[in-house]
A and B are shown apart, each in its own frame.
Chain A
Amino acid sequence: MDTAQIEYLEETARKIRGLTLRAIGSVGSGHVGGCMSIVELVTVLYFAAMNIDPSRPGMPGRDRLVLSKGHAGPTVYSALALKGYFPLSELETLNKPMTRLPSHCDMNKTPGIDMTAGSLGQGLSCAVGMALAARMNGGAEYIYAIIGDGESQEGQIWEAGMAAAHYRLDNLIVFMDYNKLQIDGTVDEVMTLMDPVEKWKAFGFHVLEVDGHDLSSIVRTIQLARNRKGKPVMIILHTIKGRGISFAEKAGVDSHSMKVSPEQVETAMKELGWDTLWNQ
C-alpha cells in the first residue's frame, strides 16, 4: 500500500470520525466511545476492502458487514454517506423522527445496511447464517462482522463461534473491538474475557491481532485473513474507546453513551482539522 493510499485512508478516517461526532452532537448524546474505536476499521472495510457498489446496495455477490455491536451504527452511517449511499446531510437526521438512521443498524431503513442488529450477541449468528448461505449459493464474497468485547460476554457469541468453526466458514471474518471498556467498568472488572486470543483459538478460529487504529496494519491483516482457508478468522482489534476525540478518550468508561455539547463538537472539529480536511 503506497503513501498516497494511506494518506487517503487517513483523511477518510478523520472525515468519518468528524461526521460521526457531528451526527451524535446534533442529537446531543450517543455511543461516542464505541463509535470512535472502530473508525479505522470501518474506513478500511468501506474504502479499501469490501466489494460493494453504492449505486447498487443490493448487488448480488457483494461483501456484507454485520455490525453486531449495533450501537456503533453512526460510524457505519458516516462511511456509507461518504461512500455515496445517501447524502452527507442526512447524517444530521440521526435518531430524529422518521429518520433512516436509527442508533442501532436497521436493514429495512438504511441503504447499505445488510443486517439489523442491536440486541447484543445476535449479529454474529446472523453473519454465520449469511456465510452459510453465501457458500451454499456458490458465492465468493466475504462476510465481515464486528463484535464488541463487552458483547462477548453474551453466551450467543460463543454459540455462533462454535457453529462458524464447525461449518469451517472461511468466508467469515470477525473483528472484536477490544477497547477493554464497557458500561459498568473495564471488561476485566465487570466480567473478564480472560485471554480472548486463546479462547478464539480454542474455538477453532484463525486468530490475528492488530492495532485497531493503524490503517495500513488493518489493511494487511484483512488481506491475510482472506487468504486463511478452512477456518473462520477472528481479528482482535486493539483499540481505544473514544479514540481521536479527546473529551471522549478522557471520559474512558463513561464514553460508552454520553452527552455531547455543541462546544465539545466545535473543539473536536478543531482537533481533527475539520476545515482544512474538506478544503483540500
Chain B
Amino acid sequence: MESVKEMRQVLGDCIVDAMKKDSRVVLIDADLGKPNGTFSARAVFPGRCFDVGVAEQNMAAVAAGMAAYGQVPIINTFASFATRRICDQVAVSICYAGRNVKIIGTDPGIAAELNGGTHMAVEDIGVMRSIPNILIFEPCDTVELGKGFAAAMEYDGPVYMRMYRKKVEELHDESYVFGLLKADVLKEGKDVTLVCSGIMVAEAVRAGLMLEEAGVEAEIINIHTVKPVDEAALATSARKTGAMVTCENHNVLGGLRAAVAEVVTRRCPVPVIPVGIQNVNGEVGVLPYLLKRFQLTASDIMQAAMVAMEMKNDRACHCKN
C-alpha cells in the first residue's frame, strides 16, 4: 500500500520532533530545504535552523563546529552532494574529529529520477562506508524512517541517512519493533536469502512472492543499517539458505553487496549474486523506467535468486561456525 505521506514530509516532522525533544538539535540546509521537506522546521524553531546557501562543504564543517560546541546538527542535501561532494569535510571535520553530526542525503541512486545522471549518487554508500566512524542508515518506508530517524538522533556519533523523498510502498505498521543495529528478517525462508535496502525492499518483497509461486522459499532481510552491518543476521541466514542475492539502489561495487560479501566470505562463504547498478552511470528517467533500465525489478531479483541457488547446488558450501 502506498504511504499517505511523502518521505520528505515525514522527515520534516521527524526533525521538528527531534528539536522539540532535545534543545541541542539544530538544522542546517544548503538551499534544498523546500525540496527535501526540512523547510517546515524553520517556522517552529527559527533560531535553530540555518541555511548556508549552495555551499555544502561549508554546511558540513559549520555543523562540525557547532557539534564541537555540543549542538547536534542535522545537515541536509541531495545524496550526491552529501557524500561525494563533501567527502573530505565528512572524513576530517566530522568523522575524524568524532563530531555528532547527522547527514541526510536524499534521492540516492536512480531515485534522483528527472534530475538525471549528474545527480545520481551510485557510489554514496561506497564513499561513506569506507570512512571510519560513521553509521549508515537507509529507511524503506515512512514507518522505518520515523523510528530509524529517532534512533539515529539518539545514537552518539556521525550518521549518514540516505532516503527517497517521495511516496513509497508502506511495508511496516506502527507495531514494527526497530533496532538501529539489527537487521530485519521480513520473511523467513530456507532456499535463498534476498538481502535488500531502501527502495529495493519493496522489489525484494515482490520477488519473494514470485519465488514462492515457483516453489522457492526465499528469506528476506532488510538491511536498514548497512554500517555497521548486522553480521550475525547475515551469517545465520547464509548458513540457513546457502545462497544470497543483494538488492540495492547503488553501484554493485562498494555498497550493500560489498558489505554482505565481506561478512559471508569470512563467516560462511556462499554465492552472493548482486542486483544493483552494474558499475555504470545513472541516466534521466522516472523510477519505473529506471528500475527496468538498470535491471532492478522483482523479476531481476528472481532471476538472480535462481542463479544463486544453481551455484549453491553446483558447488558444495563449506560453512564453519
Contacts and interface: CB of A to CB of B under 8 A. Distances in A.
Given A114-B68, A116-B96, A159-B55, A126 B47 contact: no
Interface stretch (A9-17, A23-31, A117-125): A117-125
B189 to A, nearest CB: 45
A163 B61 contact: no
Interface string A105-139: 01110000011111101110111111111101100
A174 interface: no
Given A107-B68, A133-B65, A136-B47, A125 B88 contact: no
Nearest to A160: B58
Contact of A129 (B57, B68, B88): B68
A136 B48 contact: yes
A163 B60 CA distance: 13
Interface string A124-158: 01111111111011000000000000000001100
B71 A122 contact: no
Interface string B260-271: 000000000000
A123 B96 CA distance: 13
B66 to A, nearest CB: 4
A128 B47 contact: no
Nearest to A125: B61
Contact of B58 (A107, A116, A118, A159): A159
Nearest to B68: A115
Contacts of B53: 162-163, 166
A127 B93 CA distance: 11
Nearest to A66: B65
Contacts of B69: 129-130, 133-134, 137
Contacts of A122: 57, 61, 64, 88-89, 92-93
Contacts of A125: 57-58, 60-62, 64-65, 89, 93
A133 B73 CA distance: 10
Interface residues of B, number: 30
A137 B24 CA distance: 10
Contacts of B62: 125-126, 128-129, 132, 160, 163
Contacts of B57: 121-122, 125, 155-156, 159
B98 interface: yes
Given A116-B93, A116-B96, A126 B55 contact: no
Interface in B1-17: none
Interface in B61-94: 61-71, 73, 88-89, 91-93
A40 to B, nearest CB: 26
A119 B58 contact: no
Contacts of B71: 133, 136
B52 interface: yes
A108 B97 contact: yes
Nearest to A127: B65
A129 B65 CA distance: 4
Max count, chain B CB within 10 A of own CB: residue among A117, A131, A155, A156: A156
B50 interface: yes
Contacts of A127: 65
Contacts of A156: 55, 57-58, 61, 89
Contacts of B52: 159, 163
Contact of A130 (B60, B65, B96): B65
Contacts of A114: 68
Contact of A128 (B58, B67, B92, B96): B58
Nearest to B73: A129
Contacts of A136: 26, 47-48, 71
Max count, chain B CB within 10 A of own CB: residue among A118, A129, A167: A129
A131 B88 CA distance: 22
A119 B88 contact: yes
A108 to B, nearest CB: 6
Contacts of A126: 61-62, 64-65, 68, 93
Max count, chain A CB within 10 A of own CB: residue among B57, B61, B71, B92: B61
B184 to A, nearest CB: 34
Given A159-B55, A162-B55, A163-B62, A130 B68 contact: yes
Contacts of B26: 133, 136
Nearest to B71: A133
A128 B68 CA distance: 11
5 contacts: A107-B68, A122-B61, A122-B88, A130-B68, A163-B55
Interface of A: 66, 106-108, 114-119, 121-123, 125-134, 136-137, 155-156, 159-160, 162-163, 166-167
The 6 closest A-B pairs by CB, nearest first: A129-B65, A125-B61, A126-B65, A133-B69, A159-B58, A116-B97
Given A107-B68, A115-B64, A129-B63, 16 more contacts: A66-B65, A107-B97, A108-B97, A121-B57, A125-B60, A125-B64, A126-B61, A128-B58, A128-B62, A132-B62, A133-B70, A136-B47, A155-B57, A156-B58, A160-B58, A160-B62
